[in-house]
Structures are given as structure tokens and as C-alpha cells.
Structure 1
Amino acid sequence: MPRLTLAEAEALATAALAAAGANPAMAAPTARALVAAEAEGQGGHGLSRVPQYAGFLANGRADGAAVPAVVAERGGAALVDARHGLAYAALDLAVAEAARRARSHGVAFIGIANSHHAGAMGLPVAALARQGLVALAFTNSPAAMPVPGGRRPLMGTNPIAAAFPRRDAAPLIIDMALSEVARGKIMVAAKAGKKIPLGWALDAEGNPTTDPNAALSGAMLAMGGTKGALLALVVELLCCALTGSAFGFEADGFFTEEGNRPRLGQALLAIDPGALGGQDSFAERIEFLLAAMQGDPGVRLPGSRRAALAARAAAEGLEVPEALLAQLRDLAGKT
């Protein structure tokens, strides 16, 4: 399988997105985020998204000319308008605003409106944690799950990510969607002709199903049942009600290049530990807890596998399937 350095992969993705109509301020951070996700082993948010994003740009689902801007602010709060562009430039602006305002006010909440698919949400919180801040990130997504007691999808899988800085180690990163299982696993089962466990999904009539094809035309189920669905509802409200963005059921799905501009919302919360118990106390407390966790031989810290994969990719490069590499080169006009 062909192998690219991270720099080569980033340059190729940037060129492909630029050729599809993304301006330089959009293409570069998008490529950087996709390569970072690929390096962490999150292929679903990695280079495979480049052709999809190119399709969104070509079909007007994303505005390649958009430049995000802060459109409202007060103290530690601000609203970034992504202006229907790909999400990553808006996320970078939100991270910068969150860091600056958290240092000034102790805490910052940055909403993003009129946004798009946000990829691996662990990346923006990691950027804040590397600056010594505790960070949480939320995004809604096109409808995939019902509300408790409901049948039709109204809410997205609505990922949540959190990052906690450490004194002499990489930040602790927690990143998870709120569905019981990733939709990709259901798609894999459908292709393989295998059944899925009960509790993963409902069919189009709202009945529990083990048929992956029925699940794909129905709805995902939230992790933890009602509790997970209510967490997804919290994310929907934080990201959309506060920012004026579209709820999941108002956004067309991302499995086809055609559809509306999704107008999704994201939110970042950044906290300066020095404004509360103090940096030293925070550092001591987090290490005390992590040491207790690792006292159990079966415990692996969240994010440790992704960090190891990223370090390996930085040293050895990325393996890119030949078909995807050919597609990227074709999009970039480098065939």
C-alpha cells in the first residue's frame, strides 16, 4: 500500500480541496485536521472525507469562498459564524477565541453557527489543552437517533469531546459519539450480510432490529438508552438553540453529496484551572486520579491508542489505499 508523509498527505489534500473551490483559508486547516485524524487512526474522519467535501463544495452544500468571523461577543462568550463553509477554519477561530477569553475571564464559551461536518472533535480540545486549558467540545449532526420514546430520527449522534492538560505528559483526551455504535459498523455488517446485535438500531417502523439494512433505513439508538438520548438532546440544544443553528432533523445527511447546507452548530467551553483551585492543585489532582486508574493492570488511559498511532504516523507516514490515493491525485489535478 502506498505511503505518504504527513506533509505530503496534507499538501495533497489541500490541493484537492482548493481545486474543488475551497479558498486557502479553508483548504489548509481542513486538510490539516483530516490528516491529523487519519494519523490517529480515525479513518472515518480522515483522508476519505476529501472526496466527500469536494462533492459538497461542487454541489453548493458548502461555500468555498466563506471566511468565518466573530459576529457577537460579550466577555467570555462569543459567536463565530462559519458562513456555510467547511467547519475547520471556524473551529480554528473558535479555539483562538476560547483560549484568549479563558485567560482573561477564567472561562470561555464559544458557539459556532452555520457550520458543517466537524470531524474528530478531540482535535480542537487537544489544541486548547496544550495551552493549559481544560476544554469541552460539542457538535450536532444530521438526524440519526430518535428522542426517548420516539421512532423517527430527530437528533444526530452528537459527539462530545473533552481534554485535560497534564504537567509532563500529553493531554488526556476523551472523544465519543453518543450512539450505541458507529453507523459505519452497521454498514460493514450490511456489506458482509451479517446480523447486528439488538440494541444498536431500529427499523423504519421503530421496531428493534438485527437486520443491518433495515437499520440503515431506520434509526440509530443512543448509548445507554434514555440517558444517552438525553445527553444527545443536551448537545443539540447547546449547539443549536444558543447559536441559531439548524437542528439535526433540519440538516440533510452526509451520505450523499447532494442536499441542503446543513447549518450545524458547534460549541467550545474552555476553563483556566488557575481561576479555580489553581494550576498546581489541578495538576496534582489529575495525576493522582490517573495513577489510581492505572493501578489496575487492565486500564488504558483514554486517547492513549490514538496518541501512539499519531506518533507512529509522524515517524513512518500514512498508508493510503491505492484507490483513495488515485482519487485524491485526480481531484488535485496531479494524475
Structure 2
Amino acid sequence: MATLSLQEARDAVSQALRRAGANETMAAATARALVLAEAQGLGSHGLSRVGQYATHLRNGRVNGEALPSLRHAKGGAALIDAHEGLAFAACERAVAEAIGRAREFGISIAGVTNSHHCGVVVDHLRAVADAGMVGLGFANSPAAMPAAGGKHPIFGTNPVAAVFARRGKDPLMIDLSLSEVARGKLMVAAKKGEPIPPGWALDKDGQPTTDPKAGLEGSMLPIGAASSPKGAMLALVVELLVTALIGAQFGFEASSFFVVEGNQPRIGQAFIVIDPGALAGSASYLDRIEVLVAEMLRDEGVRLPGARREQLRHQAEDQGLTVPDALLAQWAAS
């Protein structure tokens, strides 16, 4: 095991992606995102993805030469084209566009089309909190969940995220997959040879399974699927927001991220940014947030969303990241 500072980890990841064919902008943005995820304890969206992305770059599932561009813009709306590259640079561009347009119009939406896996959605919204605003993020992914009452995968796990700026404190950061768990957790369990709990996934025949490999070949279960179709309905809402509106592919049109061969996913992301100053006013908003937080914290055991991630991130900034030697060797061989 080796201990790397966050900058050393970013440099190592960026170099591995450059060797696999990513341009400097793409490699640097991706390295920032993956190291940030790892620093927050989110291994399924962190350094474990480097090999996957490198493989996709080499076999043409990702266009390593892509640079995001502004395709359309009108008032508070903008569309960024990722041009089949890795998602992170395009998402950075989209969020920056959304912040600028929210300052002008009060609210904005920026979509990303022809994209790829975008990692931890709420991390893209950190810049929104830094700007003193409220942000919402949505993404689709290759088919992993059935429609309500169905058996074959149609929707991705379709994460939803939100960030709420606070006055002089870490923002409230909310990020959840609409599957019972993120699909990356099955990937990690499969690599470790560990079973998964009942209620996470179905096999390819639509039967419940505790085998993560069978779950990856089958489908994930939406949140609350055992008692309600609500999770599947929310997944449908996200699917339409990030595809029909912005011209991205549906999840069932995109090959799985977890296979070597396949198409360029061309999936989508969308970010909505709201300036509190356009509504009740920034000061009022910040005051009201603290009233709610204080009420929540009256109960012992309540943990604010994002608090544990931020604690781990600060710890990693001080102590660095522990990276397995096998992973470093894999990157060096990339």
C-alpha cells in the first residue's frame, strides 16, 4: 500500500488517463473528480473507475480527443455537447454556464448531451454552493432498472443530487441513486467476491439474487420497489429530464459501463441552479436554512447530509489517500 497526497493521486490518475488516450483537459477534470470521490470514502465512484475509463478510451467507447462545447443557448438555458468524451469536463462547463445564467436570470438549466458516466453528481454542484446558490443535478445511465411492474432493465440508476449553500459552513449536500443502492456497489462486491443483501438486485431472469455478478447481468431494484412503484416513477422523471429535453440517449440505448465492448453511451446530465436573491433574498434564505438545521440537530443522532463526506475529505487532505500497490501497478501499465 502507498499513501499519496491528493495532488499526487490526481497526477497519477491524470497520467494513466493520458496514456490511455485522453486529452489534458479531460484527464485533469476526471482526475479531480475521481480523487475527490475517493477522499470522501466513495470508492465505487473513485479510483476503482480509472481502469474502466482507460479501457473505454482505448476501445473507442470514449472519444479521448473530445473537448466540450456550447451547442445551444437561450436565456437561462444552455446545452453542452460532451462529444462522446468522459463527462467531467463537460459537466464543469455546464455548471459554470448555469451559475452565470442564474446570476442573470434568477434560475437556469444546463444540460450535457453525448456524455458518459459522471461520477458523484453532487460534487459537480460544489461550485453552485460556493456561489451562494441552490443546485439540483440529474443523470441517467445505462439500463439497470425495470419500469414499474417490469422485469427487463430500461432506466439507469438515475441519481438525483441537491446542494444548498450555507453561511460560512459546509453546504447541505444530498446525493442518492434511485436504485436501492448505487450499481457501483455491486461492482465493488463482485471484485471482492462478496454477496449482496437481498432486495438490491434481480438476475437476468428477473429473480431476486444475492450474487453481485448476477445482479450486474440482470437489473437493480428501484428504491422502495418491494412496496411501491414510486422509485421507478422517479427514475422515469429523471430519464426524461436528461434525454428527451437535451437529446441524449435513453439508458436502454447505451451499453453497460461494466463491459469492455459496447457503444459510446451518449447519455445525459442536467443541472438546475437557483439564485436565492431572485426570490426571498439571499440573506433571508441563509437565515431560514439555519433555522431548519438547528431544528434537525435538536435530535441526537441526526447527521446533516454531506457532513461525513466532508469530514473524510478534510482528513484525506491532511493525511492523503491509501492506494493499493496493485492499483498503482495497473495505472503504470495503462
The TM-score by the shorter chain falls in which range? over 0.9
Say yes or no: does 1:238 pair with 2:233. no
Check conservation: 2:44, 2:188, Cα contact below 8 A: no
Partner in structure 1 of residue 94 of structure 2: 94
Following the alignment from structure 1 to structure 2, what is the Cα–Cα distance between the partners of residues 194 and 162?
31
Which deviates further from its counterpart, 185-194 or 63-72? Answer: 185-194
Give how far 1:272 is off: 0.1
Say yes or no: does 1:311 pair with 2:318. no
Give the 3 Å change call, closer, same or farther, for CA 186–285 of structure 1 in structure 2.
Answer: same
Give how far 1:193 is off: 6.2
SS in 2 for 1:155: coil
Give the 3 Å change call, closer, same or farther, for CA 42–195 of structure 1 in structure 2.
Answer: closer
**CA displacement, residues 30-80 of structure 1 (integer Å, 9 cap, x when unaligned):** 111111111111111112211111111110000011111111110000100
**CA displacement, residues 210-237 of structure 1 (integer Å, 9 cap, x when unaligned):** 5555433321110022111111111100
Check conservation: 2:102, 2:273, Cα contact below 8 A: yes
Match of 2:253 among 250, 255, 265: 250
Following the alignment from structure 1 to structure 2, what is the Cα–Cα distance between the partners of residues 10 and 99?
26
Partner in structure 1 of residue 126 of structure 2: 126
Following the alignment from structure 1 to structure 2, what is the Cα–Cα distance between the partners of residues 142 and 28?
25
Check conservation: 2:146, 2:152, Cα contact below 8 A: yes
Following the alignment from structure 2 to structure 1, what is the Cα–Cα distance between the partners of residues 163 and 18?
31
Following the alignment from structure 1 to structure 2, what is the Cα–Cα distance between the partners of residues 35 and 189?
20
**CA displacement, residues 267-312 of structure 1 (integer Å, 9 cap, x when unaligned):** 0000000000101110111111111111100100111110000000
Partner in structure 2 of residue 113 of structure 1: 113
Say yes or no: does 1:16 pair with 2:16. yes
Following the alignment from structure 1 to structure 2, what is the Cα–Cα distance between the partners of residues 165 and 93?
20
Partner in structure 2 of residue 272 of structure 1: 275
SS in 1 for 2:296: helix
Following the alignment from structure 1 to structure 2, what is the Cα–Cα distance between the partners of residues 286 and 162?
14
Give the 3 Å change call, closer, same or farther, for CA 112–180 of structure 1 in structure 2.
Answer: same
* Equivalent pairs, count: 330
Output the amino acid matched with 2:164.
F
Which deviates further from its counterpart, 48-57 or 272-281? Answer: 48-57
Output the amino acid matched with 2:180.
E
Partner in structure 2 of residue 285 of structure 1: 288
Say yes or no: does 1:4 pair with 2:4. yes
Output the amino acid matched with 1:314.
E
Following the alignment from structure 2 to structure 1, what is the Cα–Cα distance between the partners of residues 196 and 116?
32
Partner in structure 1 of residue 164 of structure 2: 164
Percent of aligned positions that are identical: 58
Check conservation: 1:196, 1:212, Cα contact below 8 A: no
Check conservation: 2:157, 2:183, Cα contact below 8 A: no
Give the 3 Å change call, closer, same or farther, for CA 188–92 of structure 1 in structure 2.
Answer: closer
Say yes or no: does 1:27 pair with 2:30. no
Following the alignment from structure 1 to structure 2, what is the Cα–Cα distance between the partners of residues 183 and 43?
12
**CA displacement, residues 223-258 of structure 1 (integer Å, 9 cap, x when unaligned):** 022111111111100000001110000000011222
SS in 2 for 1:123: helix
SS in 2 for 1:265: strand
Check conservation: 2:44, 2:187, Cα contact below 8 A: no
Following the alignment from structure 1 to structure 2, what is the Cα–Cα distance between the partners of residues 44 and 189?
10
Following the alignment from structure 2 to structure 1, what is the Cα–Cα distance between the partners of residues 17 and 188?
28
SS in 1 for 2:17: helix
SS in 2 for 1:127: helix
Check conservation: 1:189, 1:196, Cα contact below 8 A: no
Structure 1 gap segments, 5+ residues each: none
Following the alignment from structure 2 to structure 1, what is the Cα–Cα distance between the partners of residues 322 and 68?
33
SS in 1 for 2:242: helix
SS in 1 for 2:92: helix
Structure 2 gap segments, 5+ residues each: none
Give the 3 Å change call, closer, same or farther, for CA 248–173 of structure 1 in structure 2.
Answer: same
Output the amino acid matched with 1:257.
V
Following the alignment from structure 1 to structure 2, what is the Cα–Cα distance between the partners of residues 10 and 136?
26
SS in 1 for 2:47: coil
Check conservation: 1:186, 1:196, Cα contact below 8 A: no
Following the alignment from structure 1 to structure 2, what is the Cα–Cα distance between the partners of residues 185 and 50?
16
What is the TM-score with the length of structure 1 in the denominator?
A: 0.95
Which deviates further from its counterpart, 321-330 or 301-310? Answer: 321-330
Say yes or no: does 1:329 pair with 2:326. no
Give the 3 Å change call, closer, same or farther, for CA 185–69 of structure 1 in structure 2.
Answer: closer
SS in 2 for 1:240: coil
